Chains A and B, each alone.
Chain A
């Protein structure tokens, strides 16, 4: 058994000539929090999409807990413990908050009391009968995390969980992420543009640019990495 929970081996994916992810090999240790950063179009979301099964890679392999899952469907990956949220809010707008959480819960069988506890953890219990479309943007982001957690994942991908979220809700989400990780022994991979958030959460930062990994290390190493400063952190105070 390898000590790694997830490993990508030489992943490559291109869209009509544009190479979105180019020969990316990354590995993730259990219960780690890794942030993937990089400028727009760096291939971060595509990498997440490949790991979670949205797309199949052109070449390369994805190994989860020692098993090759490159050809698994998204639902199969969720069932073995890989869950995610989406960059653009992806919920069931016309269903209630409770129904939104119930759908992913049902993939694990009948679990009525768990529904209540998840709604509680994410502080959605008072809004459970509200239509998801009527929630604030921040609450919709939180609902998505609740939905992702309802499948009881071992590894959670968060694709820009802070996008469009106000500072108050931002702190709430940061606390939630830290909490979940501790309680659920989660491995978290977060794609985020907000450097403040990234440096507050991540233990490890992977920097991508034009489909390739250009730096990988602790926040301290990344902060002082010349290449990273050059392509990405230019002009940004960190």
Chain B
């Protein structure tokens, strides 16, 4: 735990220096990573901690981003209201999807969540009057210069990460781990497992929504690409790389994922090919991901 904390604090500190460099591209890329880290950590509440593979988290991410963009750009509401409404939209979506999907397990759960997110993608693409169709919605304000927006976002993300951390370490988090390990035993311990799954889904979906709203403000544009299924796959892949059994695993996986994508695309168009090799080897040989490797070989806990 000590090693993790030192690594974590130094990384956070380093990233706080980035806006001072004046390099806009670097600033944009780092903040993008921060937002995707929150996305992956929130996703992992359902995946790593509850043992349910959601393949539809893009619904919560883009649902929140679109709610913000529509309210602020199209309906003229103020940005704070849009921001809160975006998060609220993600919460509502997670309750709805949760109720309809959480009775199912494994591949069925994955397919149902995928189906809901693709339905939303379909709506986004077709309902042009509201969503702008393929063009999306441009002109989302940030409310402040990007320099300050960076610090604002990082602060929000750290607070959210802390809340998620407290949640998975709470008694509810323990029961969720129990459900992941042995659901029957949890039921025979007197708990309605559906209720706890729903809690996990709401926490996961709502904080995914925070990430989505920040993303809309960072990009200043909302496009259907963030509701596409491949955007749901992103946290899955990042979490597998980083390690789903550890709180920081998804974060590390996200950093690797985004940097790899950014670096590799400079040399070859086939970055996904290389990523594929990485994922296959992680899943086949290192189930615990990068965090698992670190724990096994370096920290020897």
Residues in chain A within 8 A of chain B (CB atoms): 52, 73-75, 78-79, 83-84, 90-95, 99, 102-104, 106-108, 110, 147, 150-151
> Which among A90, A92, A107 is the interface contact of B190 at CB below 8 angstroms?
A107
Q: Please tell me if the beta carbons of A103 and B186 are within 8 angstroms of each other in the complex.
A: yes
> Which among A74, A79, A92, A102 is the interface contact of B182 at CB below 8 angstroms?
A92
Q: Please tell me if the beta carbons of A107 and B181 are within 8 angstroms of each other in the complex.
A: no
> Which among A73, A93, A94, A151 is the interface contact of B189 at CB below 8 angstroms?
A151
Q: Please tell me if the beta carbons of A73 and B187 are within 8 angstroms of each other in the complex.
A: yes
Question: CA separation between A110 and B186, bound complex, in Å?
Answer: 17
B88 on the interface (CB 8 Å rule)? no
- The minimal Cβ–Cβ distance linking B263 to chain A, given in whole angstroms, is 36
Q: Please tell me if the beta carbons of A90 and B191 are within 8 angstroms of each other in the complex.
A: no
Which residues of chain A come closer than 8 Å to B190, judged between CB atoms?
Answer: 75, 78-79, 104, 107-108, 151
Residue in chain A with minimal CB distance to B185:
A90
Further contacts, 7 of them, CB under 8 A, given A75-B189, A103-B189, A147-B185: A73-B192, A75-B190, A79-B190, A83-B188, A92-B181, A95-B181, A103-B174
- The minimal Cβ–Cβ distance linking A108 to chain B, given in whole angstroms, is 7
B106 on the interface (CB 8 Å rule)? no
Q: Please tell me if the beta carbons of B178 and A95 are within 8 angstroms of each other in the complex.
A: yes
Interface secondary structure of B, over-half rule: helix
Which residues of chain B come closer than 8 Å to A110, judged between CB atoms?
Answer: 171
Which residues of chain B come closer than 8 Å to A52, judged between CB atoms?
Answer: 188
- The minimal Cβ–Cβ distance linking B177 to chain A, given in whole angstroms, is 6
Interface residues on B, range: 10 to 19
- The minimal Cβ–Cβ distance linking A76 to chain B, given in whole angstroms, is 8
A-B pairs with lowest CB-CB distance, top 3: A107-B190, A78-B190, A104-B189
Q: Please tell me if the beta carbons of A90 and B174 are within 8 angstroms of each other in the complex.
A: no
Residue in chain B with minimal CB distance to A104:
B189
> Which among A73, A94, A103, A150 is the interface contact of B175 at CB below 8 angstroms?
A103
Question: CA separation between A91 and B177, bound complex, in Å?
Answer: 12
Which residues of chain A come closer than 8 Å to B171, judged between CB atoms?
Answer: 102, 106, 110
- The minimal Cβ–Cβ distance linking B47 to chain A, given in whole angstroms, is 16
Q: Please tell me if the beta carbons of B181 and A93 are within 8 angstroms of each other in the complex.
A: yes
Chain B 76-97 residues near chain A, CB threshold 8 A: none
- The minimal Cβ–Cβ distance linking A80 to chain B, given in whole angstroms, is 9
- The minimal Cβ–Cβ distance linking A104 to chain B, given in whole angstroms, is 4
Q: Please tell me if the beta carbons of A106 and B177 are within 8 angstroms of each other in the complex.
A: no
Q: Please tell me if the beta carbons of B189 and A147 are within 8 angstroms of each other in the complex.
A: yes
Q: A92-B182, A93-B181 are in contact. Are A99 and B188 (CB under 8 A)?
A: no
Residue among B181, B182, B187, B188 with most chain A CB within 10 A: B188
Residue in chain B with minimal CB distance to A91:
B185
Question: CA separation between A102 and B185, bound complex, in Å?
Answer: 12
Residue in chain B with minimal CB distance to A144:
B185
Question: CA separation between A75 and B194, bound complex, in Å?
Answer: 11
Which residues of chain B come closer than 8 Å to A92, judged between CB atoms?
Answer: 177-178, 181-182, 185
Question: CA separation between A103 and B184, bound complex, in Å?
Answer: 12
Q: Please tell me if the beta carbons of A75 and B178 are within 8 angstroms of each other in the complex.
A: no
Residue in chain A with minimal CB distance to B189:
A104
Q: Please tell me if the beta carbons of A78 and B181 are within 8 angstroms of each other in the complex.
A: no
Question: CA separation between A147 and B188, bound complex, in Å?
Answer: 10
Q: Please tell me if the beta carbons of B181 and A94 are within 8 angstroms of each other in the complex.
A: yes
Which residues of chain A come closer than 8 Å to B193, judged between CB atoms?
Answer: 75
Q: Please tell me if the beta carbons of B177 and A78 are within 8 angstroms of each other in the complex.
A: no
Question: CA separation between A103 and B186, bound complex, in Å?
Answer: 7
Residue in chain B with minimal CB distance to A151:
B190
Q: Please tell me if the beta carbons of A107 and B189 are within 8 angstroms of each other in the complex.
A: yes
Q: Please tell me if the beta carbons of B182 and A91 are within 8 angstroms of each other in the complex.
A: yes
Report 29 cross-chain contacts, Cβ distance below 8 Å, ordered by A residue.
A73-B187, A74-B187, A74-B188, A75-B187, A75-B188, A75-B191, A75-B193, A78-B188, A79-B190, A83-B188, A84-B188, A90-B184, A90-B188, A91-B182, A92-B181, A92-B182, A92-B185, A93-B181, A94-B181, A95-B177, A99-B174, A102-B174, A103-B174, A103-B189, A103-B191, A104-B190, A106-B189, A108-B190, A147-B189
Residue in chain B with minimal CB distance to A74:
B187
Which residues of chain A come closer than 8 Å to B182, judged between CB atoms?
Answer: 90-93
Residue in chain B with minimal CB distance to A81:
B190
Q: Please tell me if the beta carbons of A78 and B185 are within 8 angstroms of each other in the complex.
A: no
Which residues of chain B come closer than 8 Å to A150, judged between CB atoms?
Answer: 189
Which residues of chain B come closer than 8 Å to A91, judged between CB atoms?
Answer: 182, 185
Chain B 143-200 residues near chain A, CB threshold 8 A: 171, 174-175, 177-178, 181-182, 184-193
Which residues of chain B come closer than 8 Å to A102, judged between CB atoms?
Answer: 171, 174
Which residues of chain A come closer than 8 Å to B177, judged between CB atoms?
Answer: 92, 95, 99
Residue among A83, A95, A110, A147 with most chain B CB within 10 A: A95
Residue among A75, A78, A90, A93 with most chain B CB within 10 A: A75
Question: CA separation between A150 and B174, bound complex, in Å?
Answer: 16
Residue among B177, B182, B189, B191 with most chain A CB within 10 A: B189
